[in-house]
Amino acid sequence: MNLKKWITAAALCFALTPVRADEGMWLLPLLGQQKLGEMKALGLELDANDLYNPENASLKDAVVIFGGGCTGEVVSPDGLVFTNHHCGYDAIQTHSSVEHDYLTDGFWATTREQELPNEGLTVTFIEKIEDVTDLVKEALKEDNDPNSMNYLSPKFLNALAKEKVGEKFLQDNPGTEVEIQPFFGGNQYFMFTKKIYSDIRLVGAPPSSIGKFGADTDNWMWPRHTGDFSIFRIYADANGNPAEYSPDNVPLRPKRWLKLSIQGFDENDFAMIMGFPGRTNHFYTSWEVAERRDIDNAVRIHIRDLRQQVMLEEMLKDDKVRIQYASKYAGSQNGYKNAIGSNWAINKRDFETVKRNQQEALLAWGRKQCQPQYEEALLTLEQIVSDRKDLRHRKWMLDETLTRGIEFTSVPMNTGGLSTALEKQDNAAIQEEITKLRKSFHQFFNKDYAPEVDKKIAKVLLKEYRKLVPAISQPAYLLTIDQAFGGDVDAFVDHLFAKSIYGSVKNFEQFAAKPTAKALAEDPMIAFARSVKEEREHLNDALKSFDDGYNLAHRTYVEGLLRMHEGGQPQWPDANFTLRLTYGQIKGYSPRDCDYYGYQTTLEGVMEKEDSTNWEFVVPAKLKELYKRRDFGPYATKQGTMPVALCATTHTTGGNSGSPVLNARGELIGLNFDRNWEGVGGDIEYLPDYQRSIIVDIRYVLFLIDKYAEADYLLDELEIVK
């Protein structure tokens, strides 16, 4: 290349390279070659092998998937795990009742025997990560169907993974699973070997007034004052292997656990986070940005607002309902507020233009390289987004209102066995089927189900759905509302509850005592649920052709961007709930003109926010007591204040909750639990001046365990760096 050409290329490269310091969720095996230099320049004192070592235990072995959507970290040789309070929330709530209200009072096991098992809860270790791009591409070559979607199919990819390791390996290693995940839209593949533990016990949790302090008002906001942590323990069989719950199981002796540092830090200090970010879309085109704003986010915001109003009203009226719906409400609110923040960023920071510029850069580059496929891919993406508009709106409306919004859409529909038994008049079989159905019924009609609340929500959401979705595009059963109820939605819903075998426990038991095939065939709730399911399947089928075309074009578009940036800054693949590392600095920020937020909050701030008349900002008496006495033990800052939370420029998203935040030496300084309002758009575009991870300071966690809960027996198993 001559000099002039080189300069042009370099300038182009510089102008087009979108990745800036602190942006990115990096894959551990590539870290050494991609980012280690920058990390060291920011202060990292470790080597690539300390973070990730395919041969030996490394920091990554202390980082786990907690449950189905959070991260946790191992902090003791006895398998103790820290995660967020909001990640342990379901477990804490499940063990709670009006009599034992662990949500309100917190929970602390004082002996191992008191640790509470949790059905269905798992902790997953990532044993091994391998680049299998060549293997997958080879296998795909033999795939003759040109339109095959196998390149993204979990079924195809995971079968390939199993074939690679062999049946015997899986048999010899209980609890072990392998999976292959696509990256960059199917341009690269990694295989993950996982070890899944399923006896996970609740050890401790602060009261919600600490673990959820600030609740929904403060959620997605900085400055923050939440003690968002909870503590669990992994149990294994006598050989250290994963096993279902058994009183004979013993605490796991893990390969690696983290040290905890209470030495403190300063602004601009290096920080890194390992964890399992769920989903980002930074390769969106401008059309997808608009689609996300105008359909996905807009529907979510509108429908959840209606649903939450009903829920909150009922929760504030009745303590039992408050506990029953606490987790459902929090989950709904969280996504709702995220969607608002996402739209705010899309508009305020003009993400459409940002992405359009990126597209145009690729178009120009592609033309120069005589590579017309990128232009084709972009035209396809534009066309698909425009063509799928109505279907997508219908799908989002159906999901947010009928599928997710109304609980009785999930009543058990598997009544075929019972119908057959009834037709054959086979009494033994009838009894057996009734027993099975009763079990499914109680799974649906569980201790957290309040039919009166569901009924109210259904009335509100059905009305809205009928208003916003054209009648011919609705589940067929909704026609009954006009045909049999003169359009009266309330009467229709009341009828479902009055007449369905699932409308109440009484209804079910009446049916169980005298089951008939006719009652099943005519059951209105089952008919409603089936009809919603049919419409959902219909929509999924109709959208599938768009999805396939979209995926192919997206892969080409991303491939173009990767090639365009080759030799420049490394690119990071969108999050897909695989193990990643993000790094940056502890740093405050300016959210708007003439306003500045510091990097650390303290207990003073908790007291400033205290409002005993607002459930979100109640401060427990004992915490106030400790504050007054300034009884902070060794956990105070040099200035003598009690640190609560910090923020850093690290790039995180949903799934990173509970992730360990580590200092330059790889010691735990906090648990990630949220992101700031100005940074919610970071799932689409990271803005270094505005985006911050929100982290609970490990010193606050330890202070609460030690001084507030007086659970100092737990401290004995931790390695604390003083």
Residues sharing a CB contact under 8 Å with residue 551, sequence separation 6 or more, in sequence order: 149, 152, 185, 186
For the CA atoms of 412, 416, 420, 422, the dihedral, rounded to the nearest 10 degrees, stands at 20
Q: Is 571 or 653 the residue whose CB approaches ligand GLU more closely? A: 653
Q: Which of the choices ligand ARG, ligand GLU, none does residue 233 contact, using the CB cut-off of 5 to 8 A by kind? A: none
207 binds ligand GLU (CB under 6 A): no
Out of 219, 261, 556, 578, name the contact with ligand ARG by CB under 6 A. Answer: 219
Separation between Cα atoms, residue 623 and residue 450, nearest integer Å:
34
Q: Which residue of this chain has its Cβ atom nearest to ligand GLU in the complex?
A: 657
299 binds ligand ARG (CB under 6 A): no
What is the contact mask toward ligand GLU in residues 687 to 706, using x (rule: CB under 6 A)? --------------------
129 binds ligand ARG (CB under 6 A): no
Write the secondary structure of 57-110 as one string of H (helix), E (strand) and C (coil). Answer: CCHHHHEEEECCCEEEEECCCCCEEEECHHHHHHHHHHCCCCCCCHHHHCEECC
Q: Which of the choices ligand GLU, ligand ARG, none does residue 653 contact, using the CB cut-off of 5 to 8 A by kind? A: ligand GLU
674 binds ligand ARG (CB under 6 A): yes
What is the contact mask toward ligand ARG in residues 66 to 95, using x (rule: CB under 6 A)? --------------------x---------
Q: Is 409 or 676 the residue whose CB approaches ligand GLU more closely? A: 676
Q: Is 415 or 676 the residue whose CB approaches ligand ARG more closely? A: 676
Residue tagged 């320049």 (tokens): 41
Element (H, E) at 721: strand 720-721
Considering the candidates 85, 86, 282, 554, report the single residue annotated as catalytic.
Answer: 86
Q: What letter would DSSP give residue 445?
A: S
Residues sharing a CB contact under 8 Å with residue 20, sequence separation 6 or more, in sequence order: 686, 688
Q: Decide if 230 is catalytic.
A: no
Separation between Cα atoms, residue 169 and residue 182, nearest integer Å:
23
Q: Decide if 482 is catalytic.
A: no
Q: Which of the choices ligand ARG, ligand GLU, none does residue 190 contact, using the CB cut-off of 5 to 8 A by kind? A: none
| One-character DSSP codes across 272-340 | EEEE------TT--HHHHHHIIIIIIHHHHHHHHHHHHHHHHHHHH-HHHHHHHHHHHHHHHHHHHHHH
58 binds ligand GLU (CB under 6 A): no
Q: Which of the choices ligand GLU, ligand ARG, none does residue 656 contact, using the CB cut-off of 5 to 8 A by kind? A: ligand GLU
Q: Decide if 228 is catalytic.
A: yes
- Segment lying near ligand GLU (by CB under 6 A), choices 233-241, 351-359, 427-435, 655-663: 655-663
Q: Which of the choices ligand GLU, ligand ARG, none does residue 330 contact, using the CB cut-off of 5 to 8 A by kind? A: ligand ARG
For the CA atoms of 677, 679, 681, 687, the dihedral, rounded to the nearest 10 degrees, stands at 150
Separation between Cα atoms, residue 706 and residue 149, nearest integer Å:
54
Q: Which of the choices ligand ARG, ligand GLU, none does residue 691 contact, using the CB cut-off of 5 to 8 A by kind? A: none
Considering the candidates 228, 269, 454, 674, report the single residue annotated as catalytic.
Answer: 228
Q: Is 365 or 617 the residue whose CB approaches ligand ARG more closely? A: 617
What is the contact mask toward ligand ARG in residues 332 to 371, using x (rule: CB under 6 A)? -xx-------------------------------------
| One-character DSSP codes across 641-671 | --EEEEEE-----TT-TT-EEE-TTS-EEEE
Out of 206, 405, 475, 655, name the contact with ligand GLU by CB under 6 A. Answer: 655
Considering the candidates 286, 500, 657, 693, report the single residue annotated as catalytic.
Answer: 657
254 binds ligand GLU (CB under 6 A): no
Q: What letter would DSSP give residue 174?
A: T
342 binds ligand GLU (CB under 6 A): no
CA distances (Å), 513 to each of 412, 414, 444, in order?
Answer: 18, 19, 20
Residue tagged 């693949």 (tokens): 573
653 binds ligand GLU (CB under 6 A): yes
CB of 55 vs ligand ARG, minimal distance in Å: 35
Residues sharing a CB contact under 8 Å with residue 443, sequence separation 6 or more, in sequence order: 412
Measured from the Cβ of residue 530, the count of other Cβ atoms closer than 10 Å reads 17
Q: What letter would DSSP give residue 54?
A: S
CB of 84 vs ligand GLU, minimal distance in Å: 7
What is the contact mask toward ligand GLU in residues 63 to 92, using x (rule: CB under 6 A)? -------x----------------------
Residues sharing a CB contact under 8 Å with residue 299, sequence separation 6 or more, in sequence order: 393, 396, 397, 400
- Segment lying near ligand ARG (by CB under 6 A), choices 32-40, 136-144, 236-244, 326-334: 326-334
The residues annotated as belonging to the active site are 86, 228, 657
Question: What residue ranges bind ligand GLU (CB under 6 A)?
Answer: 70, 652-657, 673-675
